[in-house]
Structure 1
Amino acid sequence: MRIVGKCFRYFNTVKYLKTSQIFYQVHHKRKRKKDISQYSVSEITFSPYQLFIETLDGEPDYADRFELEQLVNGTLKLLHESTHFPYGTWNLDEKSHLWNFNLHYLEYCVALVSKYRSTGETKYKETIENILKDWLDYGLHASDAVNAYTISLRLVNCLIVLSVLYTEMDKALKKRLILSLYSQYRWLLCNTEKHLLGNHYLENLKAIVIGSLYFGEENIYHKYVNMFLQELNEQILPDGFHFELSVMYHKIILEDLIRVGLVLKETERTEYRQVVQYIEKMCSALKNMEDGISRTPLFNDSGDNIAKSSSSLLGTSEILFGLKMK
C-alpha cells in the first residue's frame, strides 16, 4: 500500500509539471555539476553600479531581524534561532538546510552595511569584512553554499554591499570578492533551475541580468533580459499578482524587479520601461491586497518579516520610478 500511495503522489505531482520541467528534472538528476573553481578567472571587468536602496535596505524592521549588535559580537540570529557565528566551518549540522541556506545568502551583510552607512561606526564595516574574508576562505566548501537559488541571492546581496563599500573595502578583499562573484555568476549560467521554474527560476534570471551588467557581458545580458521578460509575462498575472499566490513571494519578487529596474535605469537600457510596467502592476496588486493590514497575510507559502514591508516597497517604487499608488 505504501508503494501504491507513493506512486499516486508522484503521479499527482508530475501531471501538473510542464513537459520542459520533466525533461529538466531528469537532466538535473543526471547532470554532473562543475565545481565553481573551474569558472575562476584572474581579472574581470566590473562596474560598481548603485544597488543599495536606502528605503529598502535601511528599513529598521529589516535590520532588527538580524540583531546586529549581537552579530558584531559573534552571535548570528536567523529564522528566530541564534547561535555562535560558524566562522571556519560555514555549516551547522544541527540546523536545517533552510537555516544553512540563509547563512549563505549573506543577507545580514546588507543590514550591516546599511547600519554602517547611517552611523559611520567602523565596527559594522569590520564585521562585514571579517565575514566576507572567512566566507571566501571556507564558505564555498560547505554543501549548502553551492545552490542556484542561494547563489542568486548571495550574488545580489554582495553587490549591494559593494555599492556602499566599493571605495572603502580593503583592496585585496574587494578583488577576491569580485572574482568569486564572477565565478559564481558563471556557474549559475550553467545551472539555472529550469527543473523547478517559478520564483526560483525568476531569481536565477534576475541575478544573471544584474550580473551581466556589472561584469560587462553584453551578449549574456541581451539573451537573459529577454528570458527574464518572458518569464515575467508568464508569472505576473493580468491583475498584477504573482502566479504562486503567496503575498510573501509577491513582495520578494517585487523587490527583485525594483533592483533590476534600478540597474536598467542607471545603464539606460531600453527594457527599463517594460520592467517598470510590471513593477506598477505588482505595486497596484500589493496595495489592494495589504491596504489597512500591518502584516503579511498568512496564506499559501507566506510568513511575516521575511519580505520587505509593503510600505517600503511602495514608497521605493514611487521614489525611483514615480509610481504613486492611489
Structure 2
Amino acid sequence: MLAKLGLYANTIKLMKASQLYYRIRKMMKMNCSVGCDVSSDAGQAEPITTVPELDFDPVFVERFPADEILTDKITILHTSKEFHWNQKWHFDDKSALWNFNLHYFEYLFPLIDAYRKTDDRNYLDKSVEIINCWIDQNPQKSGGEGWSPYTVDLRLTNWLSYYSYVNEDLDTKFREKLLKSIYEQYVFLSCHLEKDILGNHYFEDLKTLILCSLFFHDDSVLEISLKAFRKECKEEILPDGMHFELSPMYHKLILEGMIRVAVALRERGKPDTEIEHYLQPMLDVAWSFEEGLERVPLFNDSGNNVAKSLQALVTSGKEHFEIQPVYKAKFENSGFYIFKKDDWKLIVDAGQPGPTYIPGHAHCDAGSFELFKAGKPVIVNCGTYAYQCKERSFFRSTAAHNTVMVNDTEQSQCWGAFRMAKRCKVSVKSATEKSIVIELIDQKKQRVTRNIQMNDSLMITDYSEKNKLTAFIHLAGLIEVDITGDKKNLKGNYAPDYGEMSLIDVVEYSGVGEISAWVNF
C-alpha cells in the first residue's frame, strides 16, 4: 500500500495543477468546454479542403484492403475480425487499442480510393452502410470507446475528409443523417476537451474543433480554438522542431494534424503564418530520422503501422506549402543525435523521458540507440506492441532498449499503462560528428556515463565507479557484437508494428565499474 501511495505521490507532484483540476471535474461528470457555445446553426456546412496526399497515401491505404471490407472483414493492427457493422462496436477478445481504432474510421479511405479508381458503387455503398450502422449502434448516451474525446477527434477528422470527397454522390437522406451526426459529435467535443491529459490528446481536440468550425462556418469557436491551438503548438513543438513527447511516430501524427489545419485555413482565406512556421522544422525532424530507412525509429511509444508514411508527409509539404525537408544530424532540445558512416546510420536518444507532466508515452530508453545498415534495422529497440496489455511493462522497461542500468535499477518508475513516477535525468556532456558522451542519473540518483563513438566501428562504453552495470543490445539483423564483461545470449520480444510481435536475439552484458561493446563495420 505504501509503495502504491509513493507511486501516486511521485506521479502527481509533477503534473500541472490544471490537470488535477480538470481530472476532478471529469470525475464529477462536469464539462470541460472550449469557452463558448457551438453555433446552433448546423445548416451552413461546407466541405473543407482535404489533403489527398495523406488520405490516399498508398502505404496507409494498404493497411485496410478495400475488397476485404466489402466482405465484412476488418483488419486493424494485424488482427482481423468478421464484423457485420450493425452489431455492438466492441469486442472483449480484442485489445483496448484495437477497439479504439475500430471507431477511428481510417478504413473509409481505401473504400473511397477504390470507388474513385473503379467507379464501382459497391465501395461507396459499403462506406455508407458502415457509417449508418455506427450512428445507429453508437448513440451518445451509450458512451464507450466511440465517445472518448480522442476517438471523436480522429473520427470527425476522417468523416470531414470523407464528406469532402463524396458528398455530391450521397443521397439526400444519408447526407442529412451524416451532417447531423458530425454536428452532434462537434458539440460533444466542444464540452469534453482533454485538459486533464493535455499533450497530443489536447492537440487533437483543438485541431478537430478548428476543422469543424471551418466546416460549419462557426467563427466564434474558430477564433477561440485557434488562439488555444497556437498556444499549444508553442508548448508542444520544441525549438528544434520535435514534438515534446519525443516519439518519432507521434511526431508524424502531430505534423499531419498541423498540415491539415494549415491547408484548411488557407482554403478559407485565413492563412496562419504562425502555424505554418512549424511545418519546415517538423518536416526536417521526420526526414532526418527516417530518411533512407524502411521504418520509423522505435524510441518511446512508436510503431511503423500507425502514422502516414514519410513520403506522404514530404509530398504534402511540397504540394501545399512548397517546402522541402532538410537533413539535420543534431536535435539538442529533444536530445536526439544522428550519426552516419557509409551506408550505416545510428540514432541516439539522449533526451529526457518526455514532458514532466505527461510522460505517458515515455520509455526507459535514455542513452539508447538504433543502428541501420542500408536502411534495414540491425540493432533495435523493442517497440511498443500495445498499450493496455500485460506486455506493456516490458516494452517500457530498460531491458527493452539498447541502453544501460545501474545495480539492476530501472531508469525510471514506469507503472500502469501511461504512468511514470520517479524518473531519470539525462545530460549531454559532449557531442561531435562522430561521438557523444551522455550522463544518466537514474530514479535512485545513481550515475552512469555512456560514451558512444562511430568511426570504423561502433563503440559503446559505460562507466559508473564501483557499481554493477548491465546493458542490452537487441539484434534484428546478422551482426557480430563483441563485449567486455559477463555475457548472456537471450531471446526477447520485438514489435516494430503495433499488434505484431516476434522474437529476436538479445545480448545482455554486465560488469562492475566499466563495460564495453563494439560492432565492426
Indicate the TM-score class for this superposition, using the shorter chain for normalisation: over 0.9
TM-score, normalised to structure 1's length? Answer: 0.93
Question: 2: CA distance between counterparts of 1:41 and 1:98?
Answer: 34
Residues 196-224 of structure 1, C-alpha deviation per residue, up to 9 Å, x if partnerless?
00000000000001101111110110011
Letter in 2 for 1:19: A
CA contact (8 A) 1:58 1:115 kept: no
Bigger radius of gyration: 2
- Residue 32 to residue 151, structure 1, CA distance change in 2 (3 Å): same
Give the helix-richer structure, 1 or 2.
1
- C-alpha separation between the residues in 1 aligned to 2:315 and 2:166? 25
| Counterparts of 1:261 and 1:79, CA distance in 2 | 29
Say if 2:54 and 2:316, in contact at 8 Å, map to a contact too: yes
Assess if the C-alpha contact under 8 Å between 2:49 and 2:264 holds in 1: yes
Q: Tell me, what secondary structure is at the counterpart of 1:151?
A: helix
Stretches of structure 2 lacking an aligned partner (at least 5 in a row): 33-37, 327-521
SS in 1 for 2:26: helix
Q: What does 1:79-90 correspond to in 2, within 5 Å?
A: 79-88=77-86, 89-90=88-89
Report SS of the residue matched to 2:81. strand
Partner of 1:149 in structure 2? 150
Displacement of 1:70 in angstroms is: 0.9
- Equivalenced residue count is 318
**Residue 184 (1) aligns with residue 182 (2):** no
Runs of 4+ in 1 over 3 A off after TM superposition: 39-43
The aligned counterpart of 2:223 is 222
The structure with more strand, counted as a fraction of residues: 2
Supply the RMSD in Å over aligned alpha carbons: 1.8
The 8 Å contact of residues 42 and 216 in structure 2, kept in 1 or not, is answered as no
Q: 1:190-205 maps to which residues of 2 (within 5 A)?
A: 190-205=191-206
Aligned twin of 1:117: 116
Instruction: Choose which of 62, 66, 83 in structure 2 pairs with 1:64.
Output: 62
Could you tell me how far 1:118 is from its partner in structure 2? Answer: 2.6
CA distance in 1, matches of 2:211, 2:41: 21
- Aligned counterparts of 1:18 and 1:151: Cα–Cα separation in 2: 25
% same residue: 36
1:262-281 equivalent positions in 2, closer than 5 A: 262-270=263-271, 272-281=272-281
Q: How does 1:250-261 map to 2 (within 5 A)?
A: 250-261=251-262
Equivalence for 1:137: 136
Aligned to 2:249: 248
Quick one: which amino acid aligns to residue 204 of structure 1? D
- Residue 296 of structure 1 corresponds to which residue in structure 2? 296
Deviation by residue 1:45-100 (Cα, 9 ceiling, x = unmatched): 2011222x222222222111112211111101111111111422222222222111
Using the TM superposition, give the Cα deviation of residue 133 of structure 1 relative to its aligned residue in structure 2, in angstroms: 1.1
On the 8 A contact 2:25/2:31 being kept in 1, the answer is no
Aligned-pair CA distance for 1:42: 8.7
**Could you report, residue by residue, the CA deviation over 1:135-181 in whole angstroms, capped at 9, with x for unpaired residues?**
11113346211110000110010011111111001211111111111
- The superposition leaves residues 172-193 of structure 1 with CA deviations (integer Å, 9 ceiling, x where unpaired) of 1111111111111111111000
| CA gap 1:115/1:274 in 2 versus in 1, 3 angstroms | farther
Work out which structure has the larger RCO, using CA pairs closer than 8 Å and 6 or more positions apart in sequence. Answer: 1
Q: Which runs of 5+ in 1 are unaligned?
A: none
Q: Which amino acid aligns with 1:312?
A: A
| CA distance in structure 2 between the partners assigned to 1:265 and 1:153 by the alignment | 21
Match of 1:282 in 2: 282
